[in-house]
Chain A
Amino acid sequence: MGLKRMIGRVAFALLVLGIVAWAVFPFAWAIVTSLKAGSALFTVEAWPSQPSLANYTAIFKEQPFGRNILNSLLAASSVVALSLGLAVLAAYALGRVRFRGRGLLLFVVLGVSMFPQVAVLSGLFELVRWLGLYNRIGSLVLSYLIFTLPFTVWVLTTFMRELPKELEEAAMVDGAGPFVIVTRVFLPLMGPALAATGLLAFIAAWNEFLFALTFTLTDDARTVPVAIALMSGASQYELPWGQIMAASVVVTVPLIGLVLLFQRRIVSGLTAGAVKG
């Protein structure tokens, strides 16, 4: 191996390492910080001299963080279930039936997913209040549909399109109507697609901030991102950084785990349809 190639390889390896470090460091630093209790927080050191889990116990004792997690879980899973249910039927119509206005509908669906969320804030606020959902999880399920529903419809439509036509025709010859085709022939084949789409929608809902910030008022009703953003300590002016980092680690570790586990699926889900130029 020539010297030039060698240097090239080393430089490349360093580059990759650099990118990895850049991607991972902030999270690693959050973990380190979360293990620092008391005044250790205010010294910059790579590993706390006396690692402590005090911050972790504090977020569940001093803050209603357990409740916040539950809220997020409830809101995200209900909105995902609802979106997938509505989207599977819609995706069949958009992906496999030719009818006038289909292109326009797809465009509208995509357009809605690109909406700035503040643009619907006042109207939604009115709706939420009118439905009596203010400061309740229901308001979040309702508002999150704005982005989870178009996304799931769009992605499932592209998946639906790829299913072989002859399969559907065989089912038609067997006497299956559209509903039976969707539920008993296509749905069982879309497991991976549903998982990927559902996971992405779940992450989006789990991470949502603006609606959660606006439609909830009390600490108990907050979701995880709002809780983390607004976490306050004993005094109003001193932010409890150790607890904030502990909370960040708690909600991020499962997310990262899921994402790494479903890497390939996620990449295919992200790119389905959206970027087939």
Chain B
Amino acid sequence: MSDPQTPSLMHQRRRAAWLFLLPMLTVLAGVAGWPLFRTVFFSFTDATLATLDGFQGVGLDNYLWLLRDPVWWRAVWNTLLFTVVSVGIETTLGLGIALILNAHLPGRGLLRAAVLIPWAIPTVVSAQMWGWMFHDLYGVVNAILMGLGLIAEPRAWTADPDLALPVVIAVDVWKSTPFMALLILAALQMLPRDLYEAARVDGVHPVKVFFRITLPLIRPALMVAVLFRTLDALRVFDLMYVLTGNSRSTMSMSVYARQYLIDFQDVGYGSAAATLLVLVLAVATVLAVTLGRVRVDAGR
């Protein structure tokens, strides 16, 4: 039917498509695929930063050490707690702000602009800003709370092992809630307006409208947003590192892995930790996609 010398239009298009994809795929393979492969590879060796080309295989040793290290388990716990609590709060607050932004009420523009500010500020900068506000001696938080009589003496917010993680979570909530709110707002704005008008005409209570109509309709989009935030929170690094350094009370899996990789130069062991983090993320994604039935798709 189609003659072999002149490839059909479809073939030509497909060939062009692969040609167009080639540079992107090559770069991705180079900067993501290969390094990931090397990380997994290193995790079975005793490589150090100084001896990246002279190392020996050690089998599963790194993993066995890792599983016996209480600091690692602390990091896992910190990361999971941080993720669950901060994403939970961010989703709830984000939903609230999105609902306010979606209502046609005065002050909406101001609110949207204000809410974009935390999002625009680099994580490092927000960590420093909050670090200064939470400063034990000169921090404005202590000053305000003492002025209000809520605390009797200044607290060492970021140094106190009981307070440090809550502080980190608070800063993350401040920084990431806007992102949630914007994603949820986009979902809300795609809902048909006449649905609400119908409900209003029928005199349904707004709270009921929210739980019976709004929430089920935005659920798919909400789940995607929650998944994205969760994956983001699981790999958190900047916040902890800047606010509390390598402190154990807040250390996340990323901080732990980097500490071994770079500070202790133990590439083998650090790579094992990083590999486990990838596994945790993969499990979270699989759980979300199967249990939460999250559907991610580019458009359509």
Contacts and interface: CB of A to CB of B under 8 A. Distances in A.
- A–B contact, 8 Å CB criterion (strictly below): yes
B59 interface: no
A207 B224 contact: no
Interface in A133-171: 142-143, 145-146, 149-150, 153-154, 157-158, 161-162
Interface stretch (B64-72, B80-88, B158-166, B227-235): B227-235
From A26, A256, A267, residue with most partner B Cβ within 10 Å: A26
B49 A125 contact: yes
Interface string A225-266: 110110000000000010011001001100110111001001
Contacts of A115: 32, 36, 235, 278
Interface of B: 12-14, 16-18, 20-21, 23-25, 27-28, 30-32, 34-39, 42, 47, 49, 52, 97, 100, 105, 107, 110-130, 132-133, 135, 137-140, 143, 174, 178-179, 182-183, 185-187, 218-225, 228, 231, 234-235, 237-238, 241-242, 253-254, 257-258, 261-262, 267, 270-271, 273-275, 277-278, 281, 285, 294-300
Q: A-side binding surface: helix, strand, loop or mixed?
A: helix
B18 to A, nearest CB: 7
Interface of A: 12-13, 15-16, 19-20, 22-24, 26-27, 29-30, 33, 41-44, 86-87, 89-90, 92-95, 97, 99, 105-106, 108-110, 112, 114-127, 129, 142-143, 145-146, 149-150, 153-154, 157-158, 161-162, 177-179, 182, 203, 206-207, 209-210, 213-214, 224-226, 228-229, 241, 244-245, 248, 251-252, 255-256, 258-260, 263, 266-267, 270-277
Contacts of A105: 21, 25
A240 to B, nearest CB: 11
A26 B129 CA distance: 6
Given A93-B16, A114-B281, A118-B235, A259 B119 contact: yes
A158 B30 CA distance: 25
Contacts of A162: 299
B31 A23 contact: no
Given A16-B107, A26-B118, A209-B238, 7 more contacts: A86-B27, A90-B23, A121-B274, A225-B123, A251-B122, A271-B186, A275-B186
B39 A119 contact: yes
B138 A44 contact: yes
A15 B99 CA distance: 13
A267 B186 contact: yes
List 10 tightest A-B contacts by C-beta distance, closest first. A277-B220, A123-B35, A123-B38, A116-B235, A93-B17, A271-B186, A120-B35, A178-B16, A207-B122, A89-B20
Given A33-B132, A106-B298, A209-B237, A203 B124 contact: no
From B31, B135, B219, residue with most partner A Cβ within 10 Å: B31
Contacts of B254: 116-118, 210
A41 B137 CA distance: 11
A99 B143 CA distance: 63
Given A33-B132, A146-B31, A23 B178 contact: yes
Contact of A89 (B23, B42, B49, B114): B23
Given A120-B36, A121-B261, A260 B174 contact: no
A95 B183 CA distance: 22
Given A120-B39, A248-B128, A275-B221, A93 B20 contact: yes
B121 A27 contact: yes
Contact of A127 (B17, B35, B49, B238): B35
Contact of B97 (A19, A225, A270): A19
Contact of A273 (B125, B130, B270, B298): B298
A116 B138 contact: no
B132 A244 contact: yes
Contact of B274 (A86, A106, A118): A118
Nearest to B24: A90
B221 A276 contact: yes
B114 A20 contact: yes
B112 to A, nearest CB: 7
A252 B121 contact: yes
A167 to B, nearest CB: 15
